Structure 1
């Protein structure tokens, strides 16, 4: 495979490609809970100084009023993206009073799901829809898993790259069609190989016992300190059935063969009634309990480690946007919050993620049939719960494959891509970033999950207490940061504009909420 990959990279080494590759864009969505000085989830409203969560481009909320989502716009410069993320953290840290930002994926110090306040987006129809959707998530799955935080990494290649790449491939189809087909290839291979990202960067092997709400026997947990449970070889409890994924959706069988297959399957799920969710009721009295009683309320309810994406226009559904304009970028959703970074992710991680996404694009494997998808799901399950075990094997085309051997093979191919990117950018940043993670191929203790668990075990320290120590230190670090890209005055202005925009949306509504939902779900 390496010879084939190297030949392909050699074909993409002209000066034209240098100009195109330098326009690779990434954006980060970092989720983080606001917590009290004692580490308890915040019961306060979204701070007004942070603007309106409904309309702010950089600071919003996810499931909970306390679960912030900090967003950087697409940029072709990693230093700029990371700097913007630092600036947003600085501004948020200044404007949340004595609260701190939780530095881990798994929440802590939550005794019951009713302590998790559902996000509020105002009284507009779209604001009510977002809140009702979250009420539906609580009624379907419970709030605990919705309080888990992650990092979403948005990755795109510029139009100039696709034009050149299409010629290199000898393809004569419509450019937009070719671009979407290639992005779907990337998506399929992310599904196939995402286990290596969870192995390297999974960072939630432990969590507070309170998260289980008394269901300690769900997995063979071991205990640590006063209130911590962990799995000795786990990498990411967030990605297990306890968290990010959900076994209730395992029967959906969403296909990734073509973009149209993906859209068709997803639409079927959001149009098909569920007997289980029918029992919840849609509108009980005057209160909505969920948007509908379909398998998925909306497309976003599909829990997946990767999504093909297109920017939606006002009132447009994600599947409609994809069908009309194709894929604009790919969203990698399998990344835990990095507890060793004040910002949840490092620049080195970003470079490794760039390499991984390009590895998935250039990989010669294309199809992902149902058998291969089952293998991919089994591999991620093994890595999530037992990924650092000695002599772990994974599945590849029906045979067992040694984890260390496979990690080495993938990193070798990523090393070729790193050299290719370094040649285009000038410097050795990508090669250095990859060299930093290579020791984890043979030593699972060098993974993020291994380092975190060793930190806890060596100090016999509770996960929650360690998280709170980190949170306090990171707030000091964020406050000391000198904003460079997003000055505080700029973010203040953005907050004011977002509030005015929300008020404008509320004032322009002419339909009742019932009518609004009926129109939205009309096909």
Structure 2
């Protein structure tokens, strides 16, 4: 089996330098708007932030108060990070006294009804977005949807795939080769995503209000006035409490090829669910959900990674993938980093680049059902018990200690980092891996370990600490000079987005019922 080092020794030409320095990245950062008392904002999405339907950089996710801040694809990692900072500043300038919640698990929420479903205007596509969210509420409850995360979008340029294909002697069409290699990357992300959760899980504790008397089967400890935690947890967000759905595990989504993935996803969207049928679709003239199938639409699949293609207007995500193949992967396993105003650091971005390339260059090719189950068990262990000193995981049926396995993986990370630095002519990747190695060796240095240490040493409630950080971060964000997106530019984008929403609304030719029927024609 060819080692990663041997593979990289073949990827050293000037052509590869040109290709690899054109990696595109984009970030989507979710964050709740909260009041000065730490409670969820009940205000509409501020008009100064433009239209949540059509603004390219500021939108909402599930709820009216759950902002999503987006950077466009860029081949410069510093540009991406600066854009993220600038969008944060624009938001902070336009939300009055409100602050952005700096953690993945939500603030104190008294009642699920406090979580207002996001509104996107009167167009059919806007109504569809809100109806989909109503369906999520009726299926899973709103509390789960108040959780925030970071999505990291990553793509390699066409010239890389052409060179890589030639080097590996493939006769496939370049686009088909690109998609098959991205699926290889996706399978390995599924296999190794526990590494990201271990390093960057940052939700070992939460407000007790999140459970609201729900039985979890988890043995929580409590501290302060209303906080609960698991002593060795990394990411409660990635547990069954949060953005996973145990009902969906039965879908058996397959990642062997893009065709398999699309077929399984389409089947889930067109297979009735007896449970969801009981909710009804249109009841007394009001939509309760888009349909009563296992998934209403593709986005309902809660997965730590998604292969993606940019969809055209009115095109379903699976159709976009079927028509044009995979353009990028979306890594969805990241908690919001509570130690930075922007939810993610540049150092993390460098490590994620290395991790994603590790998943591409790793020689493990298939992910059969047994291996997928093993990967999911590893992830569950890391989520709930990841910092346990003697934790063991399974790798193709062999039991490995977490520490030893991380040691092996980080050797490959260091090799990839050096290779990237040679192409970029700098040391940022190697520096990031060296700095992160401390967390691999010592669980107390992970984000979850550091957060619990702060909460316990200061005897501070999770919610109180979150609010303190949110207020401090707002000042930092407002004092940062913009460098990529000026406030004036983003104001213009807001005005344009409101106009665009109006145009979308005026362009509708059919009523909502007909629109939905036509959208789901198979």
Q: How far 1:51 moved relative to its partner?
A: 0.2
**What's the CA shift string for 1:62-81, capped at 9, x where partnerless?**
00000000000001111100
**Which residue number corresponds to residue 81 of structure 1?**
80
Q: How far 1:463 moved relative to its partner?
A: 0.3
2:217 equivalent to 1:205: no
**Which residue number corresponds to residue 95 of structure 2?**
96
Q: How does 1:175-194 map to 2 (within 5 A)?
A: 175-194=174-193
Supply the RMSD in Å over aligned alpha carbons: 0.7
Q: How far 1:482 moved relative to its partner?
A: 0.8
2:126 equivalent to 1:146: no
**Which residue number corresponds to residue 64 of structure 1?**
63
**Which secondary structure does the structure 1 equivalent of 2:326 belong to?**
coil
Task: Provide the rounded CA distance (Å) in 1 between the counterparts of 2:6 and 2:398.
Answer: 28
**Which secondary structure does the structure 2 equivalent of 1:28 belong to?**
strand
2:403 equivalent to 1:404: yes
**Which residue number corresponds to residue 127 of structure 1?**
126
**What's the CA shift string for 1:296-335, capped at 9, x where partnerless?**
0000000000000000000000000000000000000000
Task: Provide the rounded CA distance (Å) in 2 between the counterparts of 1:159 and 1:384.
Answer: 36
Task: Provide the rounded CA distance (Å) in 2 between the counterparts of 1:242 and 1:248.
Answer: 13
Task: Provide the rounded CA distance (Å) in 1 between the counterparts of 2:20 and 2:314.
Answer: 33
Q: How far 1:440 moved relative to its partner?
A: 1.4
Q: How far 1:218 moved relative to its partner?
A: 3.3
Q: How does 1:410-489 map to 2 (within 5 A)?
A: 410-489=409-488
Task: Provide the rounded CA distance (Å) in 2 between the counterparts of 1:522 and 1:258.
Answer: 25
**Which residue number corresponds to residue 289 of structure 2?**
290
**Which residue number corresponds to residue 382 of structure 2?**
383
Q: How far 1:399 moved relative to its partner?
A: 2.3
Once superposed, which parts of structure 1, at least 4 consecutive aligned residues long, lie more than 6 Å away? none
**Which residue number corresponds to residue 521 of structure 2?**
522
Q: TM-score, normalised on structure 1?
A: 0.99
Residue ranges of structure 2 left out of the alignment (5+ in a row)? none
Task: Provide the rounded CA distance (Å) in 2 between the counterparts of 1:427 and 1:396.
Answer: 34
Q: How far 1:398 moved relative to its partner?
A: 1.5
Per mean C-alpha deviation after superposition, the further-off stretch among 327-336 and 218-227 is: 218-227
**Which residue number corresponds to residue 253 of structure 2?**
254
2:268 equivalent to 1:269: yes
**Which residue number corresponds to residue 48 of structure 1?**
47
**Which secondary structure does the structure 2 equivalent of 1:152 belong to?**
strand
Task: Provide the rounded CA distance (Å) in 2 between the counterparts of 1:217 and 1:12.
Answer: 49
**Which residue number corresponds to residue 195 of structure 1?**
194
Q: How far 1:217 moved relative to its partner?
A: 5.2
Task: Provide the rounded CA distance (Å) in 1 between the counterparts of 2:397 and 2:354.
Answer: 27
**Which residue number corresponds to residue 158 of structure 1?**
157
Task: Provide the rounded CA distance (Å) in 2 between the counterparts of 1:409 and 1:278.
Answer: 48
**Which secondary structure does the structure 2 equivalent of 1:333 belong to?**
strand
Q: How far 1:216 moved relative to its partner?
A: 5.8
**Which secondary structure does the structure 1 equivalent of 2:251 belong to?**
coil
Task: Provide the rounded CA distance (Å) in 1 between the counterparts of 2:122 and 2:429.
Answer: 47
Q: How does 1:358-369 map to 2 (within 5 A)?
A: 358-369=357-368
**Which residue number corresponds to residue 173 of structure 2?**
174
Residue ranges of structure 1 left out of the alignment (5+ in a row)? none
Q: How far 1:113 moved relative to its partner?
A: 1.0
**Which residue number corresponds to residue 333 of structure 1?**
332
Q: How far 1:510 moved relative to its partner?
A: 1.1
Task: Provide the rounded CA distance (Å) in 2 between the counterparts of 1:375 and 1:114.
Answer: 38
Task: Provide the rounded CA distance (Å) in 1 between the counterparts of 2:73 and 2:410.
Answer: 26
